[in-house]
Amino acid sequence: MPMNPFSHLTDVPEASEICDWATERGIMILAHSYQDGFLQEAAHFVGDSLELARKAAEAQPEAICFCGVHFMAETANILCPDAEVFVPDLEAGCSLADSCKAVDLIRYQDHLEQKLGARPTTIAYVNCSAEVKAAVDVICTSGNARAVVDSIPEEDPILFVPDMHLGGWLNEVTGREMILWNGACEVHELFSVDTLLVLQEENPGAITICHPECPKRVRDASDEVLGTAGMLKLVKASEGKTFIVGTEGNMIYRFEKEAPQNTYIPAPGASCACNLCPYMQLNTPEKLWAALQERGPQVVVPAELRPGAEASLRKMLEIV
């Protein structure tokens, strides 16, 4: 009999039992691919931000327990206004989302409007607060960002927030000169190109894949720059390959489950082997189980932000 990798958890039911328990009570559990294996196994759906936003919008469940970070639960609440949305840990935030405050963004948009003589179209990566979503024109994810940029007329100036690395990569691949906000994800920012080059030397023939949230020096040392959905598609279509993976470490759990025919090596961080998002790690099996029973803590987007935030999200869903 295969060993249960979660057998150390004595106070919570098995992941499959949690999933069934939630189903019986009309609760849909969504888990981002950066969550640990137990949370992925307990979820009804695992995916990236776009996949989960679509699932929530299509299903319109009675309640959603979102295993991810705060802005993701906000997105689910905006797209499913009648659902109770709750999370295992309200403190699970995001350094990238925190790097762009709505008040600063609006001030900068005003400044650019004066300077350029026209207000730039603002595209926001989905990793931002509902308040920022309400202040921009359209949202994108790493998987659809290129299509969203291409949908803006060439003569229109664009402000891209909050991730400067994703924005820089988009400028490279689309030939645009978007104005970039100075934000970054602390996990992807810490990947070390020096240790990556050593790893590549030690593993000749390995294919290095990295997320566009990685800095340019890491992207330039990689074979493919892909969002998490693109990575999954590539590894599923590959046979017997070795991949060095430059994104959050838990993504490998999903690769090993859905494409076990390959070998995966996590790309190293700058100061240690830790490439896990500290915010995602706040969500634990124990907190998930408690949240399901308490149907809380809840995430509720204020009514005044909903129309603007929903409009920018819906615009993205129309484009891709």
**Which parts of this chain interact with ligand SF4 (CB under 6 A)?**
34, 69, 94-96, 127, 185-187, 248, 277, 279-280
Closer CB to ligand SF4, 186 or 256, in the complex: 186
Round to whole Å and give the CA distance between 260 and 196: 23
Q: How far is the CB of 12 from ligand SF4 (least distance, A)?
A: 23
> Closest Cα partner for 183 from 246, 96, 266?
96
Closer CB to ligand SF4, 152 or 190, in the complex: 190
**Are 85 and 78 in contact, with CB atoms under 8 Å apart?**
no
Round to whole Å and give the CA distance between 283 and 164: 27
Q: How far is the CB of 122 from ligand SF4 (least distance, A)?
A: 19
Q: How far is the CB of 175 from ligand SF4 (least distance, A)?
A: 26
Closer CB to ligand SF4, 38 or 279, in the complex: 279
Round to whole Å and give the CA distance between 204 and 167: 31
Q: How far is the CB of 94 from ligand SF4 (least distance, A)?
A: 3
Closer CB to ligand SF4, 186 or 223, in the complex: 186
Q: Residue 297's CB: how many other CB atoms inside 10 A?
A: 15
Q: How far is the CB of 247 from ligand SF4 (least distance, A)?
A: 8
Q: Is the Cα torsion angle 31, 37, 39, 40 positive or negative in sign? A: positive
Q: How far is the CB of 132 from ligand SF4 (least distance, A)?
A: 14
Amino acid at 42: A
DSSP 99: T
Name, in order, each residue with C-beta under 8 angstroms of 213's C-beta and a sequence gap of 6 or more.
96, 142, 163, 165, 166, 184, 185, 188, 189, 247
Closer CB to ligand SF4, 84 or 248, in the complex: 248
Cα R_g (the chain), whole angstroms: 20
Amino acid at 56: A
Looking at 25-90, list the stretches that DSSP marks H as alpha helix, in order from N- to C-terminal side: 37-42, 49-59, 70-79
Q: How far is the CB of 163 from ligand SF4 (least distance, A)?
A: 8
Q: What are the structure tokens assigned to 259, written together?
A: 């494409």
Q: How far is the CB of 157 from ligand SF4 (least distance, A)?
A: 26
* CB-facing half-sphere around the CA of 72: CA atoms within 13 A: 36
CA dihedral 49, 52, 56, 59 (to 10 degrees): 150
